Amino acid sequence: MINCAQLDGRYLAELVTRAAKEEIPATAFLDEMLESERSRREERRVRTALRLSGLPTGQTISSFDFAFQPSIERGRIEALSTCAWIRERQSLLILGPPGVGKTHLAVALGVRAVESGFSVAFFRVEELLAAMRQDASRHPARLKRAKYMKPALLIVDEMGFEPFSREEAALFFRLVSHRYGRGAMCITSNKAISE
């Protein structure tokens, strides 16, 4: 339900003036007014979700330089940007040497996910491990509400940059095990799978 008290007063005044001048029918006036409000609310939702996600700003698919990195198939990235893999709760591993755009692509896919209505959380691996160590003693039922457990998409950046301790490996395994089939993950790493 739209609360008319929340409508932007300046825009509404402009719309009423234009409707009177151009003799816009009442139904067209209402359609335009409601579409404007829907659009405003969607913009606010995306802005808030991006802020809460922890995603770095300014990294989108349209700003990625595919010419600089010709080994990355634009078509594959565009297919991933449909977010079907997130809907299906699959995981994505982005591998490559430093400086090739792994983080940019992961963030861009996260931004697209937010725009598509998915909840997203972005962590550098050391931040994630610190949060998981802090939460290690929490009851499992409370742990499910942790920021890294509940989003539709969890992005973990720079995996493998530093080796895991035994405790960190156990915590990360617990996270992956919990999220398997419940939420998508995107992990970036400069290590090969064999490493």
- At 99, give phi and psi (nearest 5°): 85, 10
Q: What angle do CA 71, 65, 96 make, to 5 degrees?
A: 40
Q: Residue 11: what pLDDT?
A: 67
CB 112 within 8 A of CB 64: no
Q: Residue 160: what pLDDT?
A: 84
Q: Residue 156: what pLDDT?
A: 98
Q: Residue 177: what pLDDT?
A: 93
Q: Residue 142: what pLDDT?
A: 75
Q: Please, what are the averages of pLDDT over each run of 10 residues along the chain (195 residues)?
A: 57 76 80 84 95 96 93 95 98 94 98 98 96 84 80 96 90 92 96 71
CB 172 within 8 A of CB 129: yes
